[in-house]
Structures are given as C-alpha cells and as structure tokens.
Amino acid sequence: MKQSFYERIGESVYRETLPNGLQVCIVPKSGFTKKYAFFATRYGGMDTRFQLDGKWLETPAGIAHYLEHKMFDTKEGNALQELAKNGAEPNAFTANSMTGYYFDSTDHFEENLKILLSFVSVPYFTEESVAKEQGIIAQEIRMIEDNPDWQIYMRMLQAMYSQSPARTSIAGTVESISHITAETLYDCHKAFYTPANMILAVVGDVDPYSVAELARRTLPRESGPVIPRDYGTEPECVVEKETKIAMEVSAPQFLVGFKCRSVQEGEDYLRMAVIGDLACDLLLGDSSPLYQRLYNQGLINTSFGGAYEMMPGVAYLYAGGDSRDAKTVAAEIVKEADRLVREGIDEDFYQRVRKAAFGANLRGLDSFENVAVSLTEGHFHGYDPFRFPEVFESVTREDIETFLRENVREDRMVLSEIVPKEA
C-alpha cells in the first residue's frame, strides 16, 4: 500500500490496487468518530451501448438507475435495512457516468463495510421483483417529468445534442424501463460491477491496511473484462436553437446553454474543470459586471446562476433562472463573453474570483463525502484530485479568455424556455 502526503492541503491518501483490480483509497482522519465508505462503479446513465463477450449490446435508457434500486435486494432480505440496524446511514445514487453506494457510521464500521461490499458485488434479482420495481420507478419518472426544472434542463440538452446519451434522462422513460428484465440487469452487473471497474474510497479514523484486507477477503478474485462503450459522435453544431414549453409555473424560466468541446481524460480533465468553473464565476457570478447590469435592469433576479459540466464525450456551460426576457439575457451573455475576450478580464476582479474559488474548493475537503466522491471521479477520469492546488495555479487568465472565445458563442448556443400556461 502506497502512502502519499499532500503538503499543500495537509492530507494523506493510502492507495492500493488489489490483485482483482479494485482500487482502494483511504484518507485517515484521526480523532473523528464518523467513518464514511463509498463503493462505486464506472457505470452510469450514459452507458447504454457497450460491448460484452464480443457483442455490442443496446440496453434500455434508465437501466443503470434501475439496477441501483435493485442492488439492495438480497436472498436474506434487504441490505438497506441490515445496515440501518447496525447504526449506519446508507444510500446510493446514479449519475451520468457512475453509480455509488455508501454509508456513514460511528460503530460497527468493518461489519457494515463487509455488508456493503457483499450486496453490491453479488446481485440477486427475480422476474417478479424486477416487474414490481417497474411500477415504483415509473411513478418516480412521472414525478420528475412534472418538474419544470427537470424539463427545462433536459430540453436544453436535447436541443444541444443529437447523438450523445446525455440527452436522455438518467432514470429513462416509462416506456424504456418497461423493457428491463432480470436478464438485462444481470448482463449489466456482469459487465460493470467488476472489481477492475470499481473503487472503494474510505474516509475516517480507520486503519488503511485493515480496510484493504477486508476488501481482499470479501470481494471476488476475478478482475473482470474491460468493457468498450459507445457514446456516439457529436457534430460541432447544435440540434436546434430554441425550445419552449408551457407548464404550470408562476413566472417564465429559462436556461441558455453553450455546447463546449469535449475533454480528454487525465489531468487535463481536472484542469478544464477549473477553467470552466472560473469562466462561469467571471462571466455569470453574482459579483460579475454582467450579473449586476442584468439585475439592475430587472432582467434577472437572485435565481440566476450558471455552471460548467463535463460528461463522457460532452461538455457544456449553461446559465438560467427566472426572466421576462430570456432572449435578451442570452444575447447579453454572448456579448459580455465577447467583451471579456476583446478587452481582457479585469485583473483585480480576476484575482478576487480566483481566491474565492480556491478557498471554496479547499473547504470542500472538510466533507468526508466530497473527499470520497472526488477520489472516485479522479480515479475514473485519470487524475489525482488532491493535486488540485498545483493544477489550479497552472490556469492563467489567458486560458479563461480562450475558453470564452471558443465556447461562449452564438453558434454554439441553445435557449430553453418554460412559460406559464394561459388561463
């Protein structure tokens, strides 16, 4: 087991790749009573087309999320209840490119960890239980689809992308999940829930060697195959410039999105995340000239905000909130990005935003969950998240200006709107 000490952030990480290919990462936190374990697979909502045993499989949208729901079933009952009886607080989530199972506890940590590793690595489904779950998840999907925030976001992605599975909801649709069977769930588990495709991250006052040994004893010895995946090939252009829908909302809402260039794996992935986040803060943040101007003109309110997102094969910057004139706001965002590129970003403002962003990222290390998820994302995308200070310092103002020039342009923009239904 290799220990790495990161002087800039005052943290140590113990890492070991077990003989079965599982990556184990432990961050000791001496003196804390809470212990946090995160067991994740690089398999999410976008992984619907992949190769298994030499054959390409097309699986229904929503299957990764469906599998997450079913993984808590065991021959003996339900792992969620078993963990809760032991004083643990367990849960799980499915994202676009990962599924994670986790718990935190103060007592019985090793016993709880063994339960976690066991139920995630040994699936148990029946056709009857899978069919029963369809009704539960279908109801969840209908509730999501009635949510204006979800609608405006998904419609933005569908206007932006023609091929990428990013345009499909992680939960799928009522129709798509109707095609999921116990057999397809077993196929997906066999493909992606293998030690070499997974990571165990633990944060707390634990013995790293004991954690690794427990994982070694509990998990299968076979590593599993490397699974090729197909995320489609995206053109530079967007699918459609505008999309609008009427719903039961009290005020018009909008999202304006910019289709950015996709990012390569490795440390460049982390560096581009820093660049994109800084670009958002400088262009759209509540201390930015654009925000102040639009707010003073009554075009936006405090609901306005933006973010930069990366997924396999895609990346995009978006902003939105409530507005009576979304088209003007969208045009002003493009105009402000062009001004920052032409005139340059004000140095004092740039340094203030940099300092605030750096501090916010360091404060994130206070959260056990953030640490574990960051280690997981770094492992899956080929970078070390604890090298954040060095990567952050390598980013220049010119990098931000280049990002804005290449990505925040009218030809890469889509506008998604929701307006109130007429009485």
Q: What is the pLDDT of residue 45?
A: 96
CATH classification at residue 310: 3.30.830.10
Q: 70 near 122, Cβ under 8 Å?
A: no
- One domain, residues 300 and 254: yes
Q: Quick check: is 266 in a domain? A: yes
- One domain, residues 251 and 185: no
- One domain, residues 211 and 246: no
Query: CA 39 → CA 72, 171, 215, distances in Å?
Result: 13, 20, 11
- One domain, residues 144 and 12: yes
Selection from 255, 354, 242 nearest residue 303 by Cα: 255
Q: Quick check: is 223 in a domain? A: no
Q: Quick check: is 298 in a domain? A: yes
Q: Quick check: is 234 in a domain? A: no
Which residue stretches of the chain have pLDDT < 50? none
Torsion sign over Cα 397, 400, 405, 406: positive
Range of the domain at 214: 2-218
Q: Quick check: is 356 in a domain? A: yes
Q: 39 near 117, Cβ under 8 Å?
A: yes
Q: At what angle do helices 326-343 and 267-284 cross, to 10 degrees?
A: 110
Q: Quick check: is 309 in a domain? A: yes
- Please report how many Cα atoms fall inside a 13 Å half-sphere around the Cα of residue 203, on the Cβ side: 18
- One domain, residues 97 and 160: yes
Q: What is the pLDDT of residue 53?
A: 85
- One domain, residues 195 and 248: no
Q: What is the pLDDT of residue 244?
A: 96
- One domain, residues 269 and 362: yes
Total domain count for the chain?
A: 2
Q: Is the pTM of this model over 0.85?
A: yes
Q: What is the pLDDT of residue 75?
A: 85
- One domain, residues 386 and 301: yes
Please give the angle made by the CA atoms of 365, 258 and 99, to the nearest 5 degrees: 45
- Give the residue from 218, 233, 265 where a domain finishes: 218
Q: Quick check: is 104 in a domain? A: yes
Q: Active-site residue numbers?
A: 68
Gap between the Cα atoms of 325 and 65, Å rounded: 37
- One domain, residues 246 and 212: no
Gap between the Cα atoms of 193 and 73, Å rounded: 15
- One domain, residues 318 and 391: yes
Gap between the Cα atoms of 28 and 204, Å rounded: 5
- What amino acid occupies position 71? M
CB burial readout 113-131, b (16+ within 10 A) else e:
bebbbebbbebbbeeeebe
Residue that has been written with the tokens 């800084």 in this structure? 278
Kindly give the residue spans of alpha helices, DSSP state H, lying in 146-246. 148-160, 174-177, 182-192, 208-218
Q: Quick check: is 197 in a domain? A: yes
Q: 128 near 144, Cβ under 8 Å?
A: no
Q: 183 near 11, Cβ under 8 Å?
A: no
- One domain, residues 205 and 249: no
- One domain, residues 281 and 132: no
* Rg, C-alpha atoms of the chain: 23
Q: What is the pLDDT of residue 423?
A: 63
